[in-house]
Amino acid sequence: MRISFINDYNSAGHPDIINAVLAACPNKYIGYGLDEESEKAKNAIYKLIGNNNAQVHFLMGGTQTNLVAISAFLRPHEAVIAPKTAHIQVHETGAIEAVGHRILTAETADGKIKPQDIRSVVQQHGNEHMVKPRLVFISQATEYGTIYSLEELRELRKTCDELKLLLYMDGARLAPALMSERNDMTAQDIARLTDAFYMGGTKNGLLFGEALIISNPDIGEDFRFFMKQKGGLPAKGFLLGLQFYHALESGLYFSIAKQADTMAGILTAELKKAGCPFMADTYTNQVFPIINDDIVRLLERDFLFETWERVSETMTCIRLVTTWETTSEQISAFVSRYLSLIKI
Amino acid sequence: MRISFINDYNSAGHPDIINAVLAACPNKYIGYGLDEESEKAKNAIYKLIGNNNAQVHFLMGGTQTNLVAISAFLRPHEAVIAPKTAHIQVHETGAIEAVGHRILTAETADGKIKPQDIRSVVQQHGNEHMVKPRLVFISQATEYGTIYSLEELRELRKTCDELKLLLYMDGARLAPALMSERNDMTAQDIARLTDAFYMGGTKNGLLFGEALIISNPDIGEDFRFFMKQKGGLPAKGFLLGLQFYHALESGLYFSIAKQADTMAGILTAELKKAGCPFMADTYTNQVFPIINDDIVRLLERDFLFETWERVSETMTCIRLVTTWETTSEQISAFVSRYLSLIKI
Amino acid sequence: MRISFINDYNSAGHPDIINAVLAACPNKYIGYGLDEESEKAKNAIYKLIGNNNAQVHFLMGGTQTNLVAISAFLRPHEAVIAPKTAHIQVHETGAIEAVGHRILTAETADGKIKPQDIRSVVQQHGNEHMVKPRLVFISQATEYGTIYSLEELRELRKTCDELKLLLYMDGARLAPALMSERNDMTAQDIARLTDAFYMGGTKNGLLFGEALIISNPDIGEDFRFFMKQKGGLPAKGFLLGLQFYHALESGLYFSIAKQADTMAGILTAELKKAGCPFMADTYTNQVFPIINDDIVRLLERDFLFETWERVSETMTCIRLVTTWETTSEQISAFVSRYLSLIKI
Amino acid sequence: MRISFINDYNSAGHPDIINAVLAACPNKYIGYGLDEESEKAKNAIYKLIGNNNAQVHFLMGGTQTNLVAISAFLRPHEAVIAPKTAHIQVHETGAIEAVGHRILTAETADGKIKPQDIRSVVQQHGNEHMVKPRLVFISQATEYGTIYSLEELRELRKTCDELKLLLYMDGARLAPALMSERNDMTAQDIARLTDAFYMGGTKNGLLFGEALIISNPDIGEDFRFFMKQKGGLPAKGFLLGLQFYHALESGLYFSIAKQADTMAGILTAELKKAGCPFMADTYTNQVFPIINDDIVRLLERDFLFETWERVSETMTCIRLVTTWETTSEQISAFVSRYLSLIKI
């Protein structure tokens, strides 16, 4: 069997989490997320973000969370501003348009949108013949594994305030971002500086589940109606609550992200040492080396990974994703094989 | 703690299923339902329905399955015909309208729509100033726990063929329906007589998951696009596949439904013996006794259940749901308490 | 050629209006309703409704006006309450569902919804598993030609205030309603008691056009975006403005409606004298006599009208619509023929 | 009053057309476009396009036509490919997204999309995580006044056939395109090479109205339902039919477009003679000279026109639109003023 660096959702979940679910089998819960496990998880999140007044909702996956949130936050003529590489733009099959909203995109070098990008989009939209930009969509970490700094987030907030825009953060990979060695923001910063964001569970040890936090009291009214209407209010909401509660309370939510980041750091360092170029710096658990096509083909015999994009006629950027399950041996195996191949 | 007859989704799932998930922890899977567990589950379903050509898709919950399926099957001007008691009409927050379709309802005595109801709706819609009826939505078992007979299903099919309508079955509680003592249809019959139907997992021992089967080759084109667009293509699709595979292969899917039905049968018989009237006959795992309001209030001290609807000034219909976890002792406890209360 | 009582939109428009359009040919106007003719028409409406702060928008037709207004006023989980006979329910091809909203209907005897109907719908909707009733849709005149009294409108307003609902009036036939001998409300009353309403032009002498008035300042934000997005912001908005201005300033808007009502009154009186029964009282320009099927067939040789609904095995309700073009001779011709036929 | 080159929808319409409407006042028509005038207009169009089997529908405006057509032709996961300058992308307030579809755009030099642009978009969309490109949207003339050649249209058709895409042409300014001196295609070519297209009336002498022609028999099923549902089936459809019939039968539809083109040609030639640069070649009735900002400001005192886009720090592209009402004197006045200003 090939060693997998394919993604961070290729196994069921962390055994501790699944054991927690198993242990709860004898319990009886109220449906639709109104149970005590969800309450405990909410409280754990309140503690984490330092805000007891935010709304916290548990949903099943990232696309679902994005479309439910955005359809609840926007009126029909309002549009989203997002990096051209944003997941909602590239890999969610028009989910946002399907609920009626246009996505206005900005080119970015590294998956991170800048105040001037936002300003530029807004300046091009001034009357009723055009959609009205209303929400800025960012990801932390981004699709390139990069992260915003606290200063950058503050600037985005300032820009949004000035232009009367909402700021929404897709945190499918928020834990690896928060645990990044190069990160300087806290969950409290995020809760304070965004109008809403979500903390991913599916890619971070849970079976599945995302926790949406709405800090802005003006935008979340009747949110549970939207969840139900879009098929995102699971009958067994308690399963999401108990997973998040366990992951947060035990510290697992952050420790496994840390572990994934560490492995990515080692992998990057080793490849750099070997002279390998990268498409983007490594900040979190995604590594983007640029490798000769012939070598890519040979590496694919022993390792599972995605080819990300063609860089030149002979070189391809591939994506290596590490997780809490990635071992030092797997890293070494990859690096050794790479070294042996480039020597030929 | 009160004894729960509140619903069939109040505990995590059957321990065997969760143990199967736990056992799969070391495995690595391809994402988005393209894995071998999903393949095995599909094959198990093909065997069950006797049709290798149907499409099988695994989704996360009932509302999601209904809205994804209906939005994929209908064009924007087409409408759904459903019993007034249908889940999509009563308890899905306008999910079908939110994807653009009107639901045309028919009154029913027992949750079951009849050919003449369908015909009557169609006759009232004849031109472009009205929506065009196109899909008949039925549930097996219905919201009242009743079930269609094979003959009734055949008649619905015939009516749909004649009127060029699709027939879709919501099978959130299909297993208890198939296991009902009074059932005379097989999964093969259903697959042959409907255009699409789903087999519920969430209410039948799985953590969550529903299996949608599309037999009609004309309506399911590009179905995975719809799943993704509506947030219903989980990254860890393999979790759904492996649960369904385990439940079907082990026989658990049917044995636990049988157990739930049996318990409901006993509960009904005991209450009948005590002279209790019912709003609907018991066919599956839902029991609808009509009880004096004062007694209902006293029963609520020891038992959890839903009040269904007011029947007269002094009497209320309540809903008691049994599951594979319901014990004879719990049934006896309820009946004894009821007996002691009506004697006062 | 048969004499037409078929509807009130079967000729181009009043020649005075069309002549006003013709006279404007040499003029140049700004596009999209921002011209001086539209301004003058708005001022005429402000005068009529006694409110200079309302928003006034000109749209092209009734279905368009209803769907643009409702999609602008409601959030995705909110629903409309309407009489079962409402135009949006019966004859607009699911336009409201197509923009995502359910219509919750109430049975009515005469097309008029009552406070208790509204209350009853609201009471059945209490949580996030159901849509949230938010807007009451009424028509003045109704589909049956009946009209609400001022007292009835006040009661509806009170009910809406109590239940936090918006009140919207479809005024496709508002002019005949206001001119009805039995009417006791003014345009000022309507503007004060509803959140929004529209004054029909298409069925009242204009080529086409409806004037939407939004009195509630909380619901119309960015309304022109919605008009444009739904295809309801005509490039030549000035054509609507100048027609409405001319019709209102000249008094034509009300005089031709009065004329239509008068003709309907005479027709009703004559038929009553002949012993003809009616399905609904005549208030405006629609008359609903109940006539023997054989006679209906014979009347159809000389007169154009719609058969409305079957009343018994031998009797049918037909609809006779009068307009400003209906003459006494046409009325006499119909009545004479009816008299001669019932004598046989 | 300033001389207007602002657009081609700034006056009511051609007096002959309005007189035709006035003359029809005494007539009685069936509603909703089922009348004999609409029939005659359809036959005139059949003759023009040499195809009696196409569907022909009359709608009220361009945005409405585009959104009704596209929502009828596409399934929810399918997307539109369009030039970045397309009207649906730039000036229709997200109308296409509001009916659920993404627009995928291609940069163009002159408003004209090329086969390789289409191919490139399609190549980037290959699975269910992305929308599925399905319809290519082009305009004839384009937003830059340019036109496709017959050869170019043939190539687009070939590309669409190869990639299983529909080809739709927005013909808001089709008449000026067909009358262009540089045009080499006929209405028959367009009907044969596109799946659907519309012939604009609003910008070409009619009060308002667009004629949609659907040649592809596979995509227009139940089209009138879509028209009604989106508010685009006017009660007085006969008004559209009779305007189109009159304009086509009298030849006015083409003669006034020819006149507009001729004026644009003269204006262009005169300005070129004066050394004025242009952003795009003049093909139809839109002229795009690039003028010094100071001169633009002075021209604005006497002439009405739109500033199109900034070209450099001191130069701006403006848009001058000619119509059948533009006179030689107006052209001369503009050119003289321009000449006098550049001399300073």
Kindly determine whether residue C61 and residue D231, on different chains, have CB atoms separated by under 8 Å. yes
Min distance A92 CA to chain D CA atoms (Å): 5
DSSP β-bridge partners for residue D278? D289
Residue count of chain A, please give it: 344
Distance, in Å, from the CA atom of C277 to the CA atom of D118, rounded to the nearest integer, reads 66
Q: Which of C128, C222, C226 to mutate: most A Cβ within 10 Å?
A: C128
Distance, in Å, from the CA atom of C35 to the CA atom of C29, rounded to the nearest integer, reads 6
Cis check for the bond before D141: say yes or no (omega within 30 of 0).
yes
Please tell me the predicted confidence (pLDDT) of residue A1: 81
Residue count of chain C, please give it: 344
Min distance C221 CA to chain A CA atoms (Å): 10
Kindly determine whether residue C129 and residue B92, on different chains, have CB atoms separated by under 8 Å. yes
Question: Are A244 and A201 contacting, i.e. CB atoms less than 8 angstroms apart?
Answer: yes
Question: Are C246 and C16 contacting, i.e. CB atoms less than 8 angstroms apart?
Answer: yes
Look at residue D230 and tell me whether its pLDDT is greater than 90.
yes
Please classify residue C84 by burial: count the beta carbons closer than 10 Å to its beta carbon, then call 0-12 exposed, 13-18 middle and 19+ buried: middle
Residue D258 host element (H or E): helix D252-273
DSSP β-bridge partners for residue A138? A169
Distances (CA, A) of C185 to B128, C188, C191, C213, D239: 35, 8, 11, 17, 34
Kindly determine whether residue D100 and residue A101, on different chains, have CB atoms separated by under 8 Å. no
Percent pLDDT > 70 in chain C is 100
Q: Which amino acid is at D226?
A: F
**Residue-wise pLDDT tens digits, D232-288:** 999 999 999 999 999 999 999 999 999 999 999 999 999 999 999 999 999 999 999
Q: From C225, which residue of chain A is nearest by alpha-carbon distance?
A: A128
| Nearest neighbour of C76 by CB, restricted to B77, B98, B102 | B98
Confidence of residue C343 (pLDDT cuts 50, 70, 90): confident
* Arithmetic mean of pLDDT over chain D: 97
**Residue-wise pLDDT tens digits, D165-196:** 999 999 999 999 999 999 999 999 999 999 99
SS3 A180: coil
Q: Which amino acid is at B193?
A: L
Neighbours of chain A (3+ CB pairs under 8 A): B, C, D
Question: What is the number of CB-based contacts under 8 A between chain B and chain D?
Answer: 46
Distance, in Å, from the CA atom of A219 to the CA atom of A214, rounded to the nearest integer, reads 8
Min distance B59 CA to chain A CA atoms (Å): 10
Distance, in Å, from the CA atom of C287 to the CA atom of B145, rounded to the nearest integer, reads 48
Give residues with Cβ within 8 angstroms of B10, minimum separation 6: A28, A29, A30, A31, B4, B323
Q: Which of A4, A5, A11 to mutate: most B Cβ within 10 Å?
A: A11
**Residue-wise pLDDT tens digits, A275-291:** 999 999 999 999 999 99
Give residues with Cβ within 8 angstroms of A223, minimum separation 6: A55, A57, A72, A214
**DSSP per-residue letters across C29-69:** --STT-SHHHHHHHHHHHHHHT-SSSEEEEES-HHHHHHHH
Kindly determine whether residue C9 and residue D19, on different chains, have CB atoms separated by under 8 Å. no
Min distance C98 CA to chain B CA atoms (Å): 4
Look at residue A344 and tell me whether its pLDDT is greater than 80.
no
Please tell me the predicted confidence (pLDDT) of residue C344: 72
- Measured between beta carbons, the chain A residues lying within 8 angstroms of B98 are 229-230
- Measured between beta carbons, the chain C residues lying within 8 angstroms of D207 are 21, 207, 236, 239
Of residues B208, B172, B167, B194, the one with CA closest to residue B91 = B172
Min distance B65 CA to chain A CA atoms (Å): 8
Pairing of strands B196-200, B210-214: antiparallel
Q: Which amino acid is at B121?
A: V
Residue count of chain B, please give it: 344
ipTM of the complex as predicted? 0.96
Question: Are A194 and A174 contacting, i.e. CB atoms less than 8 angstroms apart?
Answer: no
Kindly determine whether residue D101 and residue A97, on different chains, have CB atoms separated by under 8 Å. yes
Distance, in Å, from the CA atom of B280 to the CA atom of B152, rounded to the nearest integer, reads 18
Of residues B217, B248, B150, B220, the one with CA closest to residue B190 = B150
Distance, in Å, from the CA atom of C196 to the CA atom of C208, rounded to the nearest integer, reads 20
Of residues C289, B236, C40, the one with CA closest to residue A14 = B236
Neighbours of chain C (3+ CB pairs under 8 A): A, B, D
- Measured between beta carbons, the chain A residues lying within 8 angstroms of C225 are 77, 128, 131-132
- Measured between beta carbons, the chain B residues lying within 8 angstroms of A62 are 235
Domain ranges within chain A, ordered by starting residue:
3-9+253-342, 16-251
Look at residue D94 and tell me whether its pLDDT is greater than 80.
yes
Q: Which of D67, D102, D307 to mutate: most A Cβ within 10 Å?
A: D102
Please tell me the predicted confidence (pLDDT) of residue A221: 96
Please tell me the predicted confidence (pLDDT) of residue C232: 97
Kindly determine whether residue C207 and residue D207, on different chains, have CB atoms separated by under 8 Å. yes
CATH 3.90.1150.10 assigned to domain B16-251? The reply is: no
* Arithmetic mean of pLDDT over chain C: 97
DSSP β-bridge partners for residue C213? C56, C197
**Residue-wise pLDDT tens digits, C186-195:** 999 999 999 9
Q: In this structure, is the dihedral angle defined by the CA atoms of residues D109, D265, C28 and D318, taken in order, positive or negative?
A: positive
Distance, in Å, from the CA atom of B286 to the CA atom of B274, rounded to the nearest integer, reads 18
**Mean pLDDT over residues A241-252, rounded?**
98
| Nearest neighbour of C222 by CB, restricted to A72, A132, A233 | A132
Question: Are A284 and A147 contacting, i.e. CB atoms less than 8 angstroms apart?
Answer: yes
Kindly determine whether residue D224 and residue B71, on different chains, have CB atoms separated by under 8 Å. no
Question: What is the number of CB-based contacts under 8 A between chain B and chain C?
Answer: 52
Please tell me the predicted confidence (pLDDT) of residue B343: 85
Residue D310 host element (H or E): strand D306-310
What backbone phi and psi angles, to 5 degrees, belong to A132? -110, 110
**Mean pLDDT over residues C86-113, rounded?**
96
Q: Which fold has domain D3-9+253-342?
A: Aspartate Aminotransferase, domain 1 (3.90.1150)
| Nearest neighbour of A76 by CB, restricted to D77, D90, D98 | D98
Question: Are A293 and A287 contacting, i.e. CB atoms less than 8 angstroms apart?
Answer: no
Question: Are C214 and C50 contacting, i.e. CB atoms less than 8 angstroms apart?
Answer: no
What backbone phi and psi angles, to 5 degrees, belong to D119? -60, -40
Confidence of residue C228 (pLDDT cuts 50, 70, 90): very high
Look at residue A274 and tell me whether its pLDDT is greater than 80.
yes
What backbone phi and psi angles, to 5 degrees, belong to A234? -65, 140
Q: Which residues of chain B have pLDDT under 70?
A: none
Of residues D70, D59, D160, the one with CA closest to residue D118 = D160
Percent pLDDT > 70 in chain A is 100
Give residues with Cβ within 8 angstroms of B4, minimum separation 6: A28, B10, B303, B304, B305
State the residue for tokens 């508010």: D231
SS3 D221: coil
DSSP β-bridge partners for residue B137? B168
Q: Which of A88, A102, A120 to mutate: most D Cβ within 10 Å?
A: A102
Min distance C94 CA to chain D CA atoms (Å): 6
- Measured between beta carbons, the chain D residues lying within 8 angstroms of A98 are 76-77, 100
SS3 C172: coil
Q: For residue C289, give the DSSP letter.
A: B
Q: What is the 3-state secondary structure (H, E, C) of A162-230?
A: HHCCEEEEECCCHHHHHHCCCCCCCHHHHHHHCCEEEEECCCCCCCCCEEEEECCCCCCCCHHHHHHHC
Q: From A79, which residue of chain C is nearest by alpha-carbon distance?
A: C225
Kindly determine whether residue B228 and residue D72, on different chains, have CB atoms separated by under 8 Å. no
Min distance A156 CA to chain C CA atoms (Å): 25
Q: From A4, which residue of chain B is nearest by alpha-carbon distance?
A: B28
Q: What is the 3-state secondary structure (H, E, C) of A39-83?
A: HHHHHHHHHHHCCCCCEEEEECCHHHHHHHHHHHHCCCCEEEEEE
Q: From B227, which residue of chain D is nearest by alpha-carbon distance?
A: D128
Kindly determine whether residue C67 and residue D25, on different chains, have CB atoms separated by under 8 Å. no
Percent pLDDT > 90 in chain A is 98
Please tell me the predicted confidence (pLDDT) of residue B344: 72
Q: For residue C269, give the DSSP letter.
A: H
Kindly determine whether residue D91 and residue A131, on different chains, have CB atoms separated by under 8 Å. no
**Mean pLDDT over residues C87-95, rounded?**
96
Q: Which two tokens stand for residue A239?
A: 């399963």
**Residue-wise pLDDT tens digits, C35-74:** 999 999 999 999 999 999 999 999 999 999 999 999 999 9
